[in-house]
A and B are shown apart, each in its own frame.
Chain A
Amino acid sequence: MSAHVVNPWRAALIAVENHWTWYRRNWRATVISNFLQPVLFLLAMGVGFGSQVQPGEATGGHPYVVYLAPALLVVTAVQNATFESSWAVFSSFKWQRTYLAVVSTPVTPAQVLYGQLLWIALRLAAGTAVFLLIAVALGAITSPSAVLAVPFATLAGMAFSAPLVAFTATREKPDAFNSVFRFLVMPMTLFTGAFYPLSQLPGWLHPLAWATPAWHGIELARGVTFGTLGVLPALGHVAYLAALVALGVVLGRRYFHRRLAV
């Protein structure tokens, strides 16, 4: 590698700028999956299905749509992170080969990774914020403290994204991504307490759910929205999610270096 002529932070930001330049021209393609899909889900499950649910102990005394909205925020972040960390990253390695072009400049493989993760985090934060605004407009969010759910949802999304990016960096073929979606992301959406409390599910599923970033994110987002979150549990959830992000970064650095260093 050539010597560093840009400092590491600036290099990562340059990588982000690269993504932004592309996104400015192609953002329309993301509108449906990033914004419209969660809103339709909120309408169908929250309002439509919710009309069949009596507010009660299971929903914390809230109407169902209010109960669902903060969790859906997290689920959306995780789902959006999935595509950005699998197909998009794979394409940058293999099809568009943008990473290969970038590392022929003074930007290092690790900085490419930081830039990619930073970009995904920005996308998640922006997407979550827009969804929150729509949910407020639909009357599904009533508490001002729900604003804090945005960083928590972003963190949960990144806790899934960073290890997935590292995994993607090891792939030569995209075959595994469909399985990742169907066997990791789908169950993580359906079985981690987003649509109903985890206690409704059989006990043997609970430890599996506790291992997922989605469950921790949902606990955090619901906790701040309804004001039921204790300080210690909050620290625990955040620490677990941060550890997953760190794990992803450490592995990702190694795999990006292996694949891109010349």
Chain B
Amino acid sequence: MTPESSTADRPGAADPAAPPSRAGAGLLLRIVPPGLYAGRSHVLVERSYLVSRRAWLSVISGFFEPLFFLFSLGYGLGRLVTGVEGVPYAQFVAPALLAASAMNGAVFEATFNLFFKFKYAKVYDAVLATPLGPVDIAIGEATWCLIRGGLYSGGFIVVMLGFGLVDSPWALLALPACLLVAAAFAAVGMAAATFMRSWQDFDLVQLAVMPLFLFSTTFYPLSVYPGWLQVVVQWTPLYHAIELMRSLTTGNVDWGALVHVAYFAVMVLVGVAVAARRLGKLLLT
């Protein structure tokens, strides 16, 4: 990983046998340079699965965090406030916690785990000794984030159903919406992780995630803020996720939901593009 080594070291650049060009591998194979993508990202997902089988407790525990918040805040605080925006407090806070847990899970998986594997465990250096390239890594890791996020979100939605906090069949779309939100935060988190130098930089991740969690109308309505601050909050990503979840679980769905979807689609595209580029640069030069 010396910065000045020649491009001839790239797996696949000099070795004609390296990238197996596969018929089903799709468009990506045509547009990214050979050696960056081998169309085999699924083996990286398999690796993550094998690893997490041995750390199942820490995987499962991620599900309990939003659940504890829901019980504590939804029920305890629910008796201090009779209702927010015309709905019982538990029903107000639950979709927001769902969105926040999609964000938290994705960001932490994408930053902490990626950084650890990248910098300390040297997993990706090992992976690159195989036909896989940086784009395989980016896609494989993102997919794993999504699988984990989907399990947490799905579990949480079932709990919400069980407690009667879901009002509308639109909630069927809550899980795909969670996956989109998780994908957006995972992509951006991954891109951010490639810029990190040491563990100290993770405080900056906290510095971004904490205020999002606390101030994106998770616990109280937007009307609490003065006008200019409302505008600022409305531009932040978690606000869109929370709005999307609230409208889906209450059934107040209108065309505005597409704005939220578009917001996250842009996040995904930008995040993936930056992450793949940076990974390629860091690993192959």
Please report A residues at the B interface, Cβ cutoff 8 Å.
28-29, 31-33, 36-37, 40-41, 43-45, 48-49, 51-53, 56, 58-59, 64, 175, 178-179, 182-183, 186-187, 190-191, 195-196, 200-201
Contact = CB atoms under 8 A, between A and B. Distances in A.
B214 A44 contact: yes
Nearest to A45: B219
B79 A58 contact: yes
Closest 10 A/B residue pairs (Cβ): A190-B72, A44-B214, A182-B61, A32-B203, A196-B76, A178-B58, A49-B219, A52-B81, A200-B76, A49-B220
Nearest to A44: B214
Contact of A44 (B61, B207, B219, B221): B219
Contact of B210 (A29, A31, A37, A51): A37
Contacts of A187: 68
A52 B68 contact: no
A200 B72 CA distance: 10
A36 B204 CA distance: 12
Contacts of B207: 32, 36
Nearest to A190: B72
Given A51-B220, A179-B58, A58 B69 contact: no
Contacts of B210: 36-37, 40
17 contacts: A29-B203, A31-B203, A33-B203, A36-B210, A40-B215, A41-B214, A43-B214, A43-B215, A44-B219, A48-B214, A48-B219, A53-B77, A64-B80, A178-B61, A190-B71, A191-B68, A191-B76
A190 B207 CA distance: 22
B159 interface: no
A187 B68 CA distance: 7
Interface residues of B, number: 32
Nearest to B55: A175
Nearest to B64: A182
Given A43-B215, A59-B80, A195-B76, 7 more contacts: A40-B210, A41-B214, A48-B224, A49-B220, A58-B79, A58-B80, A191-B68
Contact of B211 (A40, A64, A191, A200): A40
A137 B81 CA distance: 27
A186 B77 contact: no
Contacts of A52: 81, 84, 220-221, 224
B220 A196 contact: no
Contacts of B64: 182-183, 186
Contact of A196 (B80, B206, B218, B221): B80
A179 B62 CA distance: 9
Contacts, number: 91
A205 to B, nearest CB: 10
Contacts of B224: 48, 51-52
Interface in B28-48: none
Interface of B: 55, 57-58, 61-62, 64-65, 68-69, 71-73, 75-77, 79-81, 84, 200, 203, 206-207, 210-211, 214-215, 218-221, 224
A37 B200 CA distance: 16
Contacts of A43: 214-215
B68 A190 contact: yes
A29 B79 contact: no
Contacts of B211: 40
Nearest to A28: B200
Contacts of B65: 182, 186
Contact of B206 (A33, A44, A51, A186): A33
Given A179-B61, A190-B72, A53 B80 contact: yes
Nearest to B206: A32
A138 B166 CA distance: 37
Nearest to A58: B80
Nearest to A31: B203
A200 B219 contact: no
Given A179-B61, A201-B76, A48 B84 contact: no
Nearest to B214: A44
A31 B200 CA distance: 11
B230 to A, nearest CB: 12
Nearest to B70: A190
B75 A200 contact: yes
A196 B79 contact: yes
A37 B207 CA distance: 8
Residue with the highest number of chain B CB atoms closer than 10 Å, among A32, A40, A52, A175: A52
A32 B204 CA distance: 8
Contacts of B58: 175, 178-179
Given A36-B207, A44-B214, A191 B219 contact: no
A91 B178 CA distance: 36
A166 B266 CA distance: 48
Contacts of A186: 64-65, 68
A94 to B, nearest CB: 14
Contacts of A32: 203, 206-207
Given A48-B220, A178-B58, A178-B61, A195 B203 contact: no
